[in-house]
Chains A and B, each alone.
Chain A
Amino acid sequence: MHRRYLIVAAMSAFALVAAAGLGLAFFGVNEGPKLKSGVAAIGGPFTLVDDTGTAVTEKTLAGKPYAMYFGYTFCPEVCPTTLFDLSRWIKALGPDADKLNYVFVSVDPGRDTVQLMHTYLSSFDKHIRGYTGTPEQIAKIAKEYRVYYKKIPTDDGGYVMDHSAMIYLMGPDDKFVTLIRYQEDDASALAKLRKLVAVAPMS
């Protein structure tokens, strides 16, 4: 009689603890913009164009874990530094680097054309692909990945972009795994990338 309640209570308690644990784990790694809800998933469908002019969707990345970074080529410091760091880490991964995809998504579609993205990425590791699109397409992927970006006008009539400055690491199932913060140390970033390599399907 009481045993049944006990089991239910134990199960409820377990569920609560598990949920709290998940929430903690989730917020523990999230150092980016505040999420509206702790359970909101990061990632989702998108349609963009890569730096060779080929149409891409979330299915293009399916099957391999991937690292995704949002930035813009007009960025003088954070973006080149991040892409440079990522290039060094890719090199450090050696042959395992091929088990992941790496994408630089523009938050400045007004200036970042397919050609400019291609030229810009020629300065970094060849694994890194560039995605751009229409302002609507960029707004959609930014929303899917909970990426913050905002155009800030400057006195000279131009503008700069505020944007989330971390690398999203996503599993082969398109599920969020963790983040690499701006200027995270090499050992920590590489450990995260190697974890991603470990969950890559055997090829």
Chain B
Amino acid sequence: MRYLPTLALAALLLAAASPAFAQSSTSIQIEKPWARATPAGAKTGAAYMTIENKSGEPDRLTGGASDVAKTLQIHEMKVVDGVMKMREIPGGLPVPAGGSVTLKPGGYHVMLIGLNKALKKGEKIPLTLVFEKAGKVSIEVPVESVGAMHSDMPGMGHMDMK
């Protein structure tokens, strides 16, 4: 019985030591994931990250799922001649062998469609990404402010909207 506190402590330490983002794939690594906080009532959200492919074979991000949204799509966004255009990337987003691809505002994003709750700054949302070869990769994505343009943006904190 007196081992119980020790065991509990060990369990705590283990939990603390485990990586923040549980990832099941060894070839694909997700770096600095973040999602944009959503305005009240918004039905869509966007998540961004850098995807590293440590394998010798090209891979492809084809889709995924999240508990917070009905569907998830991989989109590309562009502003051309002042017009915003957003499209699903046909066939998914290629991740070169031994290379990486970055999803960021003004470019690629994971589009969360049919949000069942607002994404609030400071929360973490679960995301499972599906890759053509690496399979499923599950991560936890911290939510940054509505105005954030990349993760851990210094100096944006004081500009939080209510």
By a CB distance below 8 angstroms, the chain B residues around A183 are 106
B interface residues, how many (CB within 8 angstroms)? 34
**Given A84-B146, A84-B161, A181 and B82 contact (CB-CB distance below 8 Å):** yes
Q: Is the CB of B83 within 8 A of A160?
A: no
B129 to chain A, nearest CB (A): 17
Q: Is the CB of B147 within 8 A of A81?
A: yes
By a CB distance below 8 angstroms, the chain A residues around B113 are 156, 158
User: Hey, what's the 0/1 contact readout for A110-138 against B, CB within 8 Å counting as 1?
Assistant: 01000010011111100000000000000
**Given A77-B46, A156-B73, A162 and B39 contact (CB-CB distance below 8 Å):** no
Residue of B nearest to A32 (CB): B82
Q: Is the CB of B111 within 8 A of A87?
A: no
Q: Is the CB of A120 within 8 A of B71?
A: no
8 Å CB contacts to B: which residues of A41-90?
A: 73-78, 80-81, 83-85, 87-88
Q: How far, in angstroms, from A33 to B84 measured CA to CA in the complex? A: 11
Q: Is the CB of B40 within 8 A of A165?
A: no
B87: CB under 8 A from chain A? Answer: yes
By a CB distance below 8 angstroms, the chain B residues around A31 are 81-82
B45: CB under 8 A from chain A? Answer: yes
By a CB distance below 8 angstroms, the chain A residues around B68 are none
**Given A84-B161, A156-B113, A77 and B83 contact (CB-CB distance below 8 Å):** no
**Given A73-B39, A87-B161, A156 and B71 contact (CB-CB distance below 8 Å):** yes
**Given A76-B109, A84-B161, A120 and B85 contact (CB-CB distance below 8 Å):** no
By a CB distance below 8 angstroms, the chain A residues around B79 are 78, 165, 182
Q: How far, in angstroms, from A162 to B81 measured CA to CA in the complex? A: 12
A148: CB under 8 A from chain B? Answer: yes
8 Å CB contacts to A: which residues of B41-97?
A: 41-46, 71, 73, 77, 79, 81-88
A37: CB under 8 A from chain B? Answer: no
Q: Is the CB of B111 within 8 A of A123?
A: no
The one of B40, B71, B83 in contact with A162, judged by C-beta atoms closer than 8 angstroms, is B83
B105: CB under 8 A from chain A? Answer: yes
B112 to chain A, nearest CB (A): 8
The one of A76, A119, A122 in contact with B111, judged by C-beta atoms closer than 8 angstroms, is A76
B162: CB under 8 A from chain A? Answer: yes
Residue of B nearest to A155 (CB): B88
Residue of A nearest to B107 (CB): A77
Query: Using a CB–CB distance below 8 Å, which chain A residues touch chain B?
Result: 31-34, 73-78, 80-81, 83-85, 87-88, 111, 116, 119-124, 148, 152, 154-156, 158, 160, 162-166, 179, 181-183
| 19 other A-B residue contacts (CB within 8 Å) besides A124-B39, A183-B106 | A32-B82, A73-B42, A74-B43, A76-B112, A77-B77, A80-B39, A81-B147, A88-B159, A120-B39, A120-B40, A120-B41, A120-B42, A122-B40, A122-B41, A123-B39, A148-B83, A154-B88, A160-B87, A182-B82
- Give me 9 A-to-B residue pairs in the complex whose CB atoms sit less than 8 angstroms apart, sorted by A's number: A73-B41, A76-B86, A78-B79, A120-B39, A121-B39, A123-B39, A123-B146, A156-B73, A163-B83
